[in-house]
Structure 1
């Protein structure tokens, strides 16, 4: 999280501007257009006021790792938007339908129905079982679902995701499901200060993405690489990311967790 010249932490609007500048610089360094990269603000640890400021600053894509928290934040934000409270910046606010909520966390089967109704897309399809469950639910709801396949490019046992060798087969299976639209791949690099380790994981996902496109294993809608978080998003953009999931760089570090909480929550910190 950046600070102003005075040493004081930046407000949310300033952080959004700062992050967008860094996104643009990383894209231009890779000879890409900044418009190719979407900021998905991870609001897991954000307060209601911070989310209001985020939306007032123009962010329209928000990510959550738990369905219950997504529902809670959506309800709170929709109530705020309905109240007509104008932000001090004078910025025009969106309608609820103009906000896009992304499900970025591991999805339990008993939460799949709720996730389908709330999320614009689900980033974490990592098994045939969960893909079939969502496909069946989507058929009952008559609501096609955009999904990304999560790949464990680091090989860490603590992370979710289909293994790299099994990824193309799962991709082909998902493509046979009439109510799922496979729009891309997602991964999470190791939590390390060595950005080259992160680059390796991101490059591996990009190579897999290119292989799937080359062999036409997915349709024309297959166009996204969801990779990169607060500590490594610039490297991810250099490797082709189109969706970067950023939380702590916008809102500050998460509250201190107990060892038990940390062990159950290592997969989607941003």
Structure 2
């Protein structure tokens, strides 16, 4: 077994264990392998080991890798997205995790209308920590942003995404994950037409077990699979 295959098996085992401890079905949590700054060859290696979803932070890198690979891969854009880069994504990505403003959503809607027969699945990024260095709408403004995005015909709001502050102790991130889950429940209760709060994208290599315990359905793991960049 290769190093990456072994790492993937370890991460998947950790996901299953976290689900057992929190009384969840492991099928309710999907692993997004974060491959940014790693060569396309390691993605092929991970795909050969059964990994299907890969997350990239940078549009150009994602487009370049997608052009190199023929593996049956589902690409997610998980990094900050500038509106002028959206035009490169239709036909490549199946989900964008980082929609944090209406103008960006409107550009996604326009590009998908022009280039795709299907709508784009998006997550609304919420800056639950309030850190100035992180992107995302505020928890206070998230409900109205979701309501506005839901009116766009070529977008499907599937849930929320967040990045908590970095802590050495993963337990310290728990309140931020819990806040996102409660916000998703609040939005779900609004019963906004066309909106699903089916996905919570939260948790990375150092804290994804805690995120799963708090309801994560998509965990974004890079270092624990591919090693340091």
Q: What band does the TM-score fall into relative to the shorter chain?
A: over 0.9
Which of 16, 20, 44 matches 2:36? 44
Which of 104, 108, 122 matches 2:78? 104
CA distance in 1, matches of 2:6, 2:116: 41
Would you say 1:180 and 2:172 are equivalent positions? Answer: no
Answer whether contact 2:96 2:122 (CA < 8 A) is retained: yes
CA distance in 1, matches of 2:32, 2:116: 27
Superposition RMSD on alpha carbons, in Å? Answer: 1.6
CA distance in 1, matches of 2:116, 2:24: 37
Deviations 1:10-58 (A, max 9, x none): 7000000000000000011110011100000011032333212101100
Q: What is the aligned partner in structure 2 of residue 162 from structure 1?
A: 137
Q: What is the deviation of 1:220?
A: 6.1
Q: What is the aligned partner in structure 1 of residue 205 from structure 2?
A: 230
Answer whether contact 1:44 1:65 (CA < 8 A) is retained: yes
Q: What is the aligned partner in structure 2 of residue 13 from structure 1?
A: 5
Which of 7, 10, 22 matches 1:30? 22
CA distance in 2, matches of 1:142, 1:238: 36
CA distance in 1, matches of 2:141, 2:172: 21
Task: Determine helix, strand or coil for the equivalent of 1:162.
Answer: coil
Q: What is the aligned partner in structure 2 of residue 262 from structure 1?
A: none
Deviations 1:45-96 (A, max 9, x none): 3233321210110000000011110111112222xxxxxxxxxxxxxxxxx4
CA spacing shift, 1:226–1:218, aligned 2, 3 Å: farther
Answer whether contact 2:163 2:202 (CA < 8 A) is retained: yes
Q: Which moved more, 1:169-178 or 1:141-150?
A: 141-150
Unaligned 5+ residue runs, structure 1? 1-9, 79-95, 255-270
Q: What is the deviation of 1:195?
A: 2.1
CA distance in 2, matches of 1:243, 1:48: 22
Q: Structure 2-normalised TM-score? A: 0.95
CA distance in 1, matches of 2:139, 2:167: 21
Runs of 4+ in 1 over 6 A off after TM superposition: none
CA distance in 1, matches of 2:123, 2:195: 14
Q: How many residues align?
A: 228
Unaligned 5+ residue runs, structure 2? none
Q: What is the deviation of 1:218?
A: 5.2
CA distance in 2, matches of 1:210, 1:218: 15
Answer whether contact 1:182 1:218 (CA < 8 A) is retained: no
Task: Determine helix, strand or coil for the equivalent of 1:54.
Answer: helix
Query: Which runs of structure 2 are paired with 1:58-97 in the superposition (5 Å)?
Result: 58-78=50-70, 96=71
Task: Please tell me whether Structure 1 or Structure 2 has the larger radius of gyration of its CA atoms.
Answer: 1
CA spacing shift, 1:218–1:18, aligned 2, 3 Å: farther
Q: What is the aligned partner in structure 2 of residue 56 from structure 1?
A: 48
